[in-house]
Each structure stands twice: as C-alpha cells, then as structure tokens.
C-alpha cells in the first residue's frame, strides 16, 4: 500500500463525511497508515500533529498502549452481546463509574453523539407524556448550537450549512440567544452578557413552557459554532429557569465532557446538575463509537411500570458494545491513575504561556481558552481561508481544521511541551502566509 494507491481507491470507494466530494479533485485526501500519541503518519512516513484530536474524540493519543492492552484482553473474553435481556461486566462497571462521576444514573447507550441527542429528546418527551403532560412536545436550543445531524438532532441544531437543505424534513424547534461572548456588546462582560441572554431564555419560557419539554445546550463551549465560549453563570441561570418553568435541562457534553473544559464535566463549573447528560466522543478515548445518556431517578421512575409502552422502547444494535465499554473503562482508569484533570491544568498554563505570541499577533482576535480548548478568529481572513489554512497546516506537519475564520486547537491531552511549541510556531508561520 502506498499514498497514491490508497487515495485513488478511497475516492472511488468511500463517500467521505461532511465533504463536497468534488473538492477532492484539487484537495488531496490525507492517507494515514498509523498513529502514535499525537502523531499521524502516512504511507511515506510524513507525520502530522493531530491538533484536533481527530474530530475532538482522542484524549490519550493514538494507539495508546494502556487502552490497546485493555481492548486486547476484552477481545478474548467477549466482543459484543445483545443488551436487551442480557448484561456484561464492562457495561455494568462503566455505568456505575459514570454514575459516580456525574451524580446521575440509569445509563442508556447509543453508538454516536447524534444518537445520544435523539435518546435524550425522546426520553424527555416521553417522561412528560408518562406523567400526564403530553402537550410538552417542543424543544428549545441555543442559537448556533450543534447537537448532531440525524433528523431529530438536526432539528435542535442551529448551523445553517448543515440544516437549511433538510429544513423540510425537520421538526420546528425554537432557538434562544447564545451567551457566546463574541456576540456581546462592546464593553459588556461575559457575565453581564450571560445574564442578558438568560433574560431572553426567561422570556421564551414564560410564553412557551407549557408546550416545552426540554432545553438542550452545550455547556461552556459551543464547539461547531467555532468554539464559542460563555460564562458559567448562564448555566446556573438556565438550570434555575428550567426548574421554575418545569422544563428539562439536557447537557450535551458530547464534545465538552471527559475533561475537555478543565473539569471532568463542563457543567460542574456552574455547580449545577442537568436532567439528562449526553456523552460520546472522548468517552472511549477516541477508539470506538459509543454514546451514553444518564438521567435522574424521577425520570427513570416515570418509565418503570407494568405497561410495556410506558417503557423506553428505543434501541441500537450495538447498544452497550463490550469492546467500546472496555475502551471507556481503560480511559477512566487513565484519568484516575494519572490525575489527568490536575495534570491538564499545568499543561493548559504552559500552553497559554507558549501561545502568548499568538495572542499578541495583530491578526488574532478573541483569543480564548477553556481547559484543553483554544480558539481565535483571524482578522482579514479571505474567502476559502479555512481550506487554505488546513492545506498550509499539512505542509507544516499540523492537522488543523479551522471553522470559518476561527482557528482552534483541541489536542489530545498527551501533547508534550515540544509539540505545543511546534504547534504554536507552525500556526504563527501559517498566519504570515494565509
């Protein structure tokens, strides 16, 4: 196998995600033969630093020896078993541990992030139906929010490029103003802006609470919006308003969970607990597709009944896959054994220091950081900026995928100091060219 061979075969045989395939007439695919830590290597030995954690999923590097070992062990015990009517050790242990970490429970599994969103939306609606409030059928989400791209998840997503084409297929949902600080008035603090957006949420719920089942949001960082960050005060306000108006709060921590924002879960920074917690992406350390929704005892009890139809009759074939659960357990082991949340604080501080020249760069606007996420907008970005930046990144041995004119870093947590320096230096060089 060589680079050219696999590129041609991939273009013939594979329909790549989130891609206008015709663009590959001029933009070559990047073939990857192997991974090691933060590095991806092609068939000719060219290396790329994976600064986006392979679409925000990787936590502890590619081919992590500890996760590999756990998976090899699991492979010889049990790869998968139907989870309806059956159970197994990895799924039980993982559910117990996620429950201890979140204070929620009754872990329901899906395969991808979007399926977790679907599960949370359906469960919320069904809870209200089971408790005599069948008119609560609507959802509210934040402007520029992203919750996945299956039809139900896309209905609460607010990204025009992904949504507009499919609008006739979607259920209408309401969007309220996003507390993303980039949208604040000049001179307005993040907290004041959060309070102003919370007032808009209140106004919406005052009018629509009777038909609203849930508010779904991405706590602290709206990823697909271009790493839009908000003050935790918004989450405290949202929690209080959801309580006041009897609306569920769904925390979509698919991207921000598992330490990404500096705490194990992002919502911890607001001192709140959601009614539903959606997890995926980093849950398996970036190894295998797995998602989970955790909820509260009252929600669970509303489904617990003699009548079958009051149960949550939702399933995916690979629900609770044993290999994926074992990868997740190995990932949680690394968090515990290595004190990852603490260690990442030092890493974040180092990164911020190393990135000072970027922050001071005349074209860099809104330089921001939360936990292991950094982002900034580039002034004077011409059309096609994201693609040209991506291509220049590859030439510098960096895998970076700007969103519009937003450049972001979301590296695996195992990134080292030299690699951080290389990432910053490469980005500065690219900024001179693009």
Ligand X SMILES: *Cc1c(COP(=O)(O)O)cnc(C)c1O
H runs (alpha helix) in 14-88 = 53-56, 65-75
* 39 sits in which H/E element: strand 39-41
How far from chain centre, in Å, is Cα 59?
A: 12
d(CA 41, CA 410): 19
Stretch that binds ligand X, among 108-116, 126-134, 259-267, 375-383 (CB under 6 A): 108-116
Binding status of residue 148 toward ligand X by CB under 6 A: yes
Nearest to ligand X of 52, 254 (CB atom) = 254
Task: Count the Cβ atoms, other than its own, within 10 Å of residue 257.
Answer: 27
Residues 115-134 that bind ligand X (CB under 6 A): 117
d(CA 260, CA 258): 6
Among 113, 179, 402, 411, contact with ligand X (rule: CB under 6 A):
113
- Smallest distance from the beta carbon of 403 to ligand X, in angstroms? 12
Binding status of residue 318 toward ligand X by CB under 6 A: no
d(CA 368, CA 175): 25
- Smallest distance from the beta carbon of 253 to ligand X, in angstroms? 8
- Smallest distance from the beta carbon of 114 to ligand X, in angstroms? 3
What are 185-194's contacts with CB under 8 Å, separation 24+? 189/231, 190/229, 190/230, 190/231, 191/231, 191/233, 193/230, 193/231, 194/230, 194/231, 194/233, 194/234, 194/237
d(CA 113, CA 255): 9
Nearest to ligand X of 158, 233 (CB atom) = 158
Binding status of residue 83 toward ligand X by CB under 6 A: no
- Smallest distance from the beta carbon of 434 to ligand X, in angstroms? 26
- Smallest distance from the beta carbon of 421 to ligand X, in angstroms? 28
Residues 372-411 that bind ligand X (CB under 6 A): none
Residues 244-263 that bind ligand X (CB under 6 A): 252, 254-255
Among 37, 223, 232, 320, contact with ligand X (rule: CB under 6 A):
223
d(CA 136, CA 132): 10
Task: Count the Cβ atoms, other than its own, within 10 Å of residue 68.
Answer: 13
Among 50, 158, 180, 218, contact with ligand X (rule: CB under 6 A):
218
Contact 135, 211 (CB under 8 A): yes
Nearest to ligand X of 163, 396 (CB atom) = 163
Binding status of residue 180 toward ligand X by CB under 6 A: no
Nearest to ligand X of 247, 266 (CB atom) = 266
Nearest to ligand X of 128, 146 (CB atom) = 146
Nearest to ligand X of 113, 274 (CB atom) = 113
- Smallest distance from the beta carbon of 111 to ligand X, in angstroms? 8
Contact 166, 132 (CB under 8 A): no
Binding status of residue 114 toward ligand X by CB under 6 A: yes
Residue 35 structure tokens: 């991974």
Residue of minimal Cβ distance to ligand X: 113
Residues that bind ligand X (CB under 6 A): 112-114, 117, 146-148, 218, 223, 252, 254-255, 280-281
């Amino acid at each position: 196998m060589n680079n050219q061979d696999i590129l041609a075969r991939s273009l013939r045989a594979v329909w790549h995600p989130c891609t206008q395939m015709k663009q590959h007439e001029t933009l070559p695919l990047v073939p990857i033969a192997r991974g090691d830590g933060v590095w991806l290597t092609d068939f000719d030995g060219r290396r790329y630093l994976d600064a986006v954690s392979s679409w925000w999923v990787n936590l502890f590097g590619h081919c992590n020896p500890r996760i590999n070992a756990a998976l090899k062990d699991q492979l010889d015990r049990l790869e998968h078993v139907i989870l309806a009517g059956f159970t197994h050790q990895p799924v039980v242990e993982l559910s117990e541990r996620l429950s201890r970490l979140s204070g929620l429970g009754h872990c329901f599994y899906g395969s991808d992030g979007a399926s977790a969103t679907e599960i949370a939306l359906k469960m919320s609606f069904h809870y209200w139906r089971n408790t005599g409030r069948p008119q609560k059928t609507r959802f509210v989400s934040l402007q520029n929010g992203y919750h996945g791209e299956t039809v139900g998840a896309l209905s609460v997503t607010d990204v025009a490029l992904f949504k507009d084409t499919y609008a006739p297929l979607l259920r209408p949902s309401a969007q309220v103003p996003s507390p993303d600080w980039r949208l604040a008035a000049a001179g307005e603090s993040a907290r004041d802006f959060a309070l102003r957006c919370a007032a808009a949420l209140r106004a919406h719920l005052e009018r629509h609470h009777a038909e609203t089942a849930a508010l779904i949001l991405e706590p602290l960082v709206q990823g697909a919006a271009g790493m839009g960050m908000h003050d935790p005060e918004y989450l405290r306000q949202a929690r209080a308003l959801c309580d006041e108006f009897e609306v569920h709060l769904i925390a979509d921590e698919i991207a921000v969970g598992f330490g990404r924002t500096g705490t194990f879960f992002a919502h911890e920074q607001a001192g709140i607990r959601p009614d539903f917690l959606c997890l995926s992406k980093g849950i398996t350390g970036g190894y295998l597709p797995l998602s989970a929704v955790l909820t509260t005892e009252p929600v669970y009890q509303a489904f617990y009944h003699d009548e079958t139809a009051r149960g949550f009759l939702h399933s995916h074939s690979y629900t609770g896959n044993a290999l994926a659960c074992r990868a997740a357990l190995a990932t949680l082991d690394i968090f515990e054994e290595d004190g990852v949340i603490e260690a990442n604080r030092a890493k974040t501080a180092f990164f911020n220091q190393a990135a000072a020249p970027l922050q001071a760069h005349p074209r860099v606007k809104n330089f921001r950081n939360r936990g292991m996420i950094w982002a900034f907008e580039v002034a004077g970005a011409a059309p096609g900026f994201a693609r040209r930046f991506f291509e220049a990144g590859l030439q510098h041995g960096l895998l970076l995928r700007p969103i519009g004119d937003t450049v972001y870093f979301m590296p695996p947590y195992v990134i080292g100091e030299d690699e951080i320096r290389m990432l910053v230096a490469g980005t500065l060089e690219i900024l001179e060219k693009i």
